[in-house]
Amino acid sequence: MSVTTPRGFRSAGIAVGLKSTGKPDLALVVNDGPAPASAAVFTSNRAQANPILWSRKAQQAGPARAVILNSGGANCFTGDFGYETTRLTAEAVASELGEPDPERVLVCSTGLIGTGDQAFRDKILGGVPRLAAALAADDTTAPAAILTTDSVEKTAVRAGDGWSIGAMAKGAGMLAPGLATMLVVITTDALLDGEALDRALRAASATSFDRLDSDGCMSTNDQVTLLASGASGIAPEEHVFAAALSEVCDELAAKLQADAEGAAHDIDIEVRGAASEAEAVEVGRSVARNNLFKAAIFGNDPNWGRVLAAIGTTEAAFDPYQVDVSFNGVRLCHAGAPDRPVEECDLTPRRTHVLIELFAGEAEATVRTNDLTHDYVHENSAYSS
Amino acid sequence: MSVTTPRGFRSAGIAVGLKSTGKPDLALVVNDGPAPASAAVFTSNRAQANPILWSRKAQQAGPARAVILNSGGANCFTGDFGYETTRLTAEAVASELGEPDPERVLVCSTGLIGTGDQAFRDKILGGVPRLAAALAADDTTAPAAILTTDSVEKTAVRAGDGWSIGAMAKGAGMLAPGLATMLVVITTDALLDGEALDRALRAASATSFDRLDSDGCMSTNDQVTLLASGASGIAPEEHVFAAALSEVCDELAAKLQADAEGAAHDIDIEVRGAASEAEAVEVGRSVARNNLFKAAIFGNDPNWGRVLAAIGTTEAAFDPYQVDVSFNGVRLCHAGAPDRPVEECDLTPRRTHVLIELFAGEAEATVRTNDLTHDYVHENSAYSS
Report the CATH number that the domain containing residue B75 is assigned in CATH: 3.60.70.12
- Does B181 belong to an annotated binding site? yes
Strand order across the A223-228 sheet: A37-42, A223-228, A183-188, A164-170, A154-159
Claim to verify: residue B36 and residue B119 sit in the same structural domain:
yes
Q: Are B74 and B111 in contact (CB under 8 A)?
A: yes
Q: How far does B350 lie from chain A, in Å, by closest CA?
A: 16
Q: What is the predicted pLDDT for the residue at A292? A: 87
Q: How many CB pairs under 8 A join A and B?
A: 190
DSSP string, B104-124: GEEEEEBS-TT---HHHHHHH
Give the whole-angstrom CA distance, residue B154 versus residue A188: 63
Q: In sequence order, which residues have a C-beta less than 8 Å from that of residue A45 and are 6 or more positions away? A: A178, A218, A219, A220, A222, B309, B312, B313
List, for residues A333-349, the tens digit of each pLDDT value.
999 888 999 999 999 99
* Preferred mutation among B215, B352, B377 to probe A, highest tally of A CBs within 10 A: B377
Residue B332: helix, strand or coil by DSSP? Answer: strand
Claim to verify: residue B192 and residue B304 sit in the same structural domain:
no
Q: How far does A282 lie from chain B, in Å, by closest CA?
A: 14
Residues A153-159: what's their mean pLDDT? 94
Q: What is the predicted pLDDT for the residue at A221? A: 84
Give the residue ranges of the annotated binding site of A for substrate.
148, 170, 181, 261, 380, 385
- Cβ separation of A216 and B77 shorter than 8 Å? no
Of A232, A258, A284, which one is at a domain's C-terminal end? A258
- Does B148 belong to an annotated binding site? yes
Residue A151 lies in a domain: yes
- Cβ separation of B291 and A291 shorter than 8 Å? yes
Nearest to A46 among B299, B312, B383 (CB): B312
Q: How far does B271 lie from chain A, in Å, by closest CA?
A: 17
Q: How far does A320 lie from chain B, in Å, by closest CA?
A: 6
Q: Are B154 and B255 in contact (CB under 8 A)?
A: yes
Residue B1 lies in a domain: no
DSSP string, A244-267: HHHHHHHHHHHHHHHT-TT-S-EE
Q: What is the predicted pLDDT for the residue at A149? A: 81
Q: What is the predicted pLDDT for the residue at B177? A: 43
* Contacts A171 to B, Cβ<8 Å: none
Amino acid identity of residue A122, one-letter, is D
Q: Dihedral of the CA atoms A190, A195, A198, A203 (nearest 10)?
A: -90
Q: What is the predicted pLDDT for the residue at A264? A: 93
Q: What is the predicted pLDDT for the residue at A174? A: 56
- Closest residue, chain B, to A296 (C-alpha): B381
Q: How far does B289 lie from chain A, in Å, by closest CA?
A: 9
- Closest residue, chain B, to A297 (C-alpha): B381
Nearest to B380 among A48, A76, A296 (CB): A296
Give the whole-angstrom CA distance, residue B252 versus residue A100: 65
Rg (CA), chain A: 21
* Contacts A288 to B, Cβ<8 Å: none
Which secondary structure element, helix H or strand E, spans residue B126, and what is its range? helix B118-133
Claim to verify: residue A131 and residue A272 sit in the same structural domain:
no
Q: How far does B75 lie from chain A, in Å, by closest CA?
A: 10
Q: Dihedral of the CA atoms B226, A310, B145, B93 (nearest 10)?
A: 60
Residue A236 lies in a domain: yes
Claim to verify: residue B333 and residue B359 sit in the same structural domain:
yes
Cβ neighbours around A198 below 10 Å, total = 18
- Cβ separation of A217 and B77 shorter than 8 Å? no
Q: What is the predicted pLDDT for the residue at B313? A: 85
* Contacts A74 to B, Cβ<8 Å: 305
Nearest to B377 among A113, A178, A372 (CB): A372
Of A203, A233, A258, which one is at a domain's C-terminal end? A258
Active-site residue list of A: 181
Rg (CA), chain B: 21
- Cβ separation of B299 and A382 shorter than 8 Å? yes
Give the whole-angstrom CA distance, residue A375 versus residue A196: 42
Nearest to B113 among A308, A321, A335 (CB): A308
Phi, psi of A188 (to 5 degrees): -155, 145
Segments in chain A forming alpha helices (H): 50-58, 79-97, 118-133, 142-145, 194-206, 238-258, 277-288, 291-298, 304-311, 374-381
- Closest residue, chain B, to A341 (C-alpha): B114
* Contacts A308 to B, Cβ<8 Å: 47, 77, 113, 220
Q: Are B208 and B295 in contact (CB under 8 A)?
A: no
Claim to verify: residue A191 and residue A56 sit in the same structural domain:
yes
* Preferred mutation among B53, B181, B217 to probe A, highest tally of A CBs within 10 A: B217
Claim to verify: residue A73 and residue A168 sit in the same structural domain:
yes
- Cβ separation of B381 and A217 shorter than 8 Å? no
- Cβ separation of A218 and B312 shorter than 8 Å? yes
What's the DSSP call for residue B319?
Answer: -
Give the whole-angstrom CA distance, residue A314 versus residue A286: 7
Residue B353 lies in a domain: yes
Q: Are B250 and B207 in contact (CB under 8 A)?
A: yes
Which secondary structure element, helix H or strand E, spans residue B196, and what is its range? helix B194-206
Active-site residue list of B: 181
Q: Are A105 and A94 in contact (CB under 8 A)?
A: yes
- Cβ separation of A217 and B292 shorter than 8 Å? yes
Q: How far is CA A204 from CA A40, A46, A62, A252, in A?
A: 12, 22, 22, 11
Q: What is the predicted pLDDT for the residue at B178? A: 44
Which secondary structure element, helix H or strand E, spans residue B379, and what is its range? helix B374-381
| ipTM value for the complex | 0.81
Q: What is the predicted pLDDT for the residue at B222? A: 85
Cis check: omega of the bond before A34, within 30 degrees of 0:
yes
- Cβ separation of A320 and B46 shorter than 8 Å? yes
List, for residues A40-57, the tens digit of each pLDDT value.
998 888 888 999 999 999
Claim to verify: residue A279 and residue A191 sit in the same structural domain:
no
- Cβ separation of B74 and A305 shorter than 8 Å? yes
Q: What is the predicted pLDDT for the residue at B174? A: 56
Claim to verify: residue A164 and residue A311 sit in the same structural domain:
no
Residue A4 lies in a domain: no
CATH number for the domain including B286?
3.10.20.340
Nearest to B337 among A77, A173, A309 (CB): A77
* Contacts B296 to A, Cβ<8 Å: 380-381, 383
Give the residue ranges of the annotated binding site of A.
148, 170, 181, 261, 380, 385
Q: What b-and-e string marks burial along B73-100, b requiring 16 or more CB atoms within 10 Å of the CB?
A: bbbbbbeeebbebbbbbbbbbbebbebe
CA atoms within 13 A on the CB side of B148: 28
Q: What is the predicted pLDDT for the residue at B175? A: 53
Helix axes A304-311 and A291-298, enclosed angle (nearest 10): 160
List, for residues A242-292, the tens digit of each pLDDT value.
999 999 999 998 898 888 888 899 999 999 999 999 999 999 999 998 888
- Closest residue, chain B, to A380 (C-alpha): B295
- Structural domain boundaries enclosing B113: 9-258
Residue A370: helix, strand or coil by DSSP? Answer: strand
Q: Are A250 and A206 in contact (CB under 8 A)?
A: no
Phi, psi of B31 (to 5 degrees): -100, 110
- Cβ separation of A112 and B46 shorter than 8 Å? no
- Cβ separation of B113 and A216 shorter than 8 Å? no
Q: What is the predicted pLDDT for the residue at B8? A: 96
- Cβ separation of A113 and B383 shorter than 8 Å? no
Claim to verify: residue A290 and residue A253 sit in the same structural domain:
no
Q: Are A129 and A28 in contact (CB under 8 A)?
A: no
Nearest to B216 among A291, A314, A384 (CB): A291
Claim to verify: residue A129 and residue A270 sit in the same structural domain:
no
Claim to verify: residue B254 and residue B270 sit in the same structural domain:
no
Of B258, B278, B308, which one is at a domain's C-terminal end? B258
Confidence of residue A181 (pLDDT cuts 50, 70, 90): low
Q: What is the predicted pLDDT for the residue at A384? A: 44
Kindly give the parts of chain B with pLDDT less than 70.
172-181, 382-385
Q: What is the predicted pLDDT for the residue at A320? A: 87
Q: Are B61 and B94 in contact (CB under 8 A)?
A: no
Q: What is the predicted pLDDT for the residue at B173? A: 59
Claim to verify: residue A232 and residue A315 sit in the same structural domain:
no
**Considering its fold, how many domains does chain A have in total?**
2
List, for residues A93-148, the tens digit of each pLDDT value.
999 999 999 999 999 999 888 888 999 999 999 999 999 999 999 999 999 999 98
Residue A1 lies in a domain: no
* Contacts A179 to B, Cβ<8 Å: none
Residue A185 lies in a domain: yes
Nearest to A377 among B74, B290, B372 (CB): B372
Residue B2 lies in a domain: no
Amino acid identity of residue B227, one-letter, is L
Q: What is the predicted pLDDT for the residue at B181? A: 61
Confidence of residue A33 (pLDDT cuts 50, 70, 90): very high
Q: What is the predicted pLDDT for the residue at A364? A: 95
Give the whole-angstrom CA distance, residue B287 versus residue B303: 12
